[in-house]
């Protein structure tokens, strides 16, 4: 019988699995929706306004159903860059793990008379004890840092670990907070133990028949993709079908699997370093047994993104306009019009919606 993994020695063999899967299904861990109009009149929910707003919105209102928090709503934008009826809804993390998530979202949207316009952020995640072939994530990160395995593509990365007799790594991220898509692999057990315990997440860990063994005997890791550009489209190469990122595709498990697999192939594709000059000729590193439907990402303006200076200028101009908007209505109108025209010229409306609106802290 295979022994359980010892937390003090992550190099040991993986746990015995009770199914053919060594992972959870595709989870939604963050969902933030942008839209227009909101009404706080429905008797189905309790609305509790917070004593403070945000940088871009005057008010934040919590939504409760009995003793259960459903989410938070940011409304009444401060800036004229945003539509006057702009609203951001962020679902509570616990709600995202409920089996009736689709029902809750439909009920909430209807009760608020909310008009969905786009997804400003969604995080898809998979929890697992090891990668395929018993490759422990700690070893995976170590091999990456030693160039034993190579990532396809270019970009920035960040590593977090602990210096002991042998270095141990807990976190590897590709991309930044402003990237359209960021990829993370990190020790989820350690995060839950040290930051905030969430039993509803551990409920998905069934590596043994006894769930307590699954939770306590070894560390569980998470691979997560954070998507902040809902204009990315996912192409099924076999059928030619285009799969957009919408509420419906997020809530449908089948399309969620397809999107996750497409992200895996684009943002988390690794090969064994054989010393060849071309990475695409090197052997692929097996990570997770996600469905093998060929998917391709269609990323708008991937090679023609407006420059960093334009974005800095927009931020500076908006801050200047906010500081001086009280001088006169004419001044405010002229400043806002200038910003709007500049955004339109450089096709940065999507970037503005992604970065100039509310960023909730993860609960």
Mean pLDDT of 86-105: 97
Q: How far is CA 130 from CA 29, 65, 215, in A?
A: 20, 38, 14
Q: Mean of the per-residue pLDDT values for the chain?
A: 83
Q: Which uninterrupted H or E stretch holds 194?
A: helix 188-194
What is the per-residue pLDDT across 112-154, written as a single tens digit (0 to 9) for each? 999 999 999 999 999 999 998 889 999 999 999 999 999 998 8
Q: Tens digits of per-residue pLDDT, 28-61?
A: 999 999 999 999 999 999 999 999 998 889 999 9
Per the CB < 8 A criterion, the answer to whether 18 and 210 are in contact is no
Indicate if the pLDDT at residue 358 is higher than 60.
Answer: no
User: What residues are paired with 115 via a beta bridge?
Assistant: 36
Mean pLDDT of 337-359: 61
Token pair in block for residue 332: 């405010």
Of the CA atoms within 13 Å of residue 51, those in its CB half-sphere come to 0
């Amino acid at each position: 019988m295979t022994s359980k993994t010892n937390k003090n020695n992550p190099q040991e063999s993986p746990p015995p699995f009770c199914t053919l899967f060594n992972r959870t299904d595709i989870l939604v861990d963050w969902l933030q929706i942008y839209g227009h109009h909101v009404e706080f009149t429905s008797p189905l929910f309790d609305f509790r306004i917070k004593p403070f707003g945000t940088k871009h919105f005057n008010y934040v209102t919590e939504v409760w159903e009995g003793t259960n928090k459903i989410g938070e709503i940011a409304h009444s934008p401060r800036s004229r860059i945003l539509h006057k009826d702009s609203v951001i809804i962020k679902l509570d993390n616990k709600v995202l793990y409920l089996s009736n998530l689709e029902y809750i979202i439909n009920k909430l949207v209807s009760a608020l008379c909310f008009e969905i316009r786009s997804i400003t952020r969604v995080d898809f995640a998979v929890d697992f004890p090891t990668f395929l072939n018993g490759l422990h994530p700690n070893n995976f990160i170590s091999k990456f840092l030693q160039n034993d395995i190579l990532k396809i593509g270019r970009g920035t990365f960040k590593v977090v670990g602990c210096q002991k007799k042998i270095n141990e790594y807990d976190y590897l991220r590709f991309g930044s907070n402003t990237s359209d898509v960021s990829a993370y692999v990190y020790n989820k057990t350690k995060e839950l133990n040290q930051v905030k315990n969430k039993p509803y997440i551990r409920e998905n860990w069934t590596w043994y028949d006894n769930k307590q063994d699954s939770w306590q005997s070894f560390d569980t890791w998470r691979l997560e993709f954070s998507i902040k550009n809902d204009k990315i489209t996912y192409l099924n190469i076999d059928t030619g079908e285009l799969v957009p990122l919408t509420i419906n595709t997020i809530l449908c498990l089948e399309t969620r699997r397809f999107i996750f697999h497409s992200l895996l192939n684009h943002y988390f594709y690794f090969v064994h370093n054989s010393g060849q000059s071309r990475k695409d000729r090197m052997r692929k590193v097996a990570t997770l047994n996600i469905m093998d439907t060929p998917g391709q990402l269609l990323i708008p303006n991937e090679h023609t993104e407006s420059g960093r200076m334009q974005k800095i200028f927009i931020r500076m101009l908006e801050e200047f306009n906010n500081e001086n908007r009280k001088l006169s209505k004419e001044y405010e109108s002229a400043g806002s019009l200038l910003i709007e025209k500049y955004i339109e010229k450089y096709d940065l409306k999507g970037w503005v919606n992604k970065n100039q609106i509310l960023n909730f802290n993860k609960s």
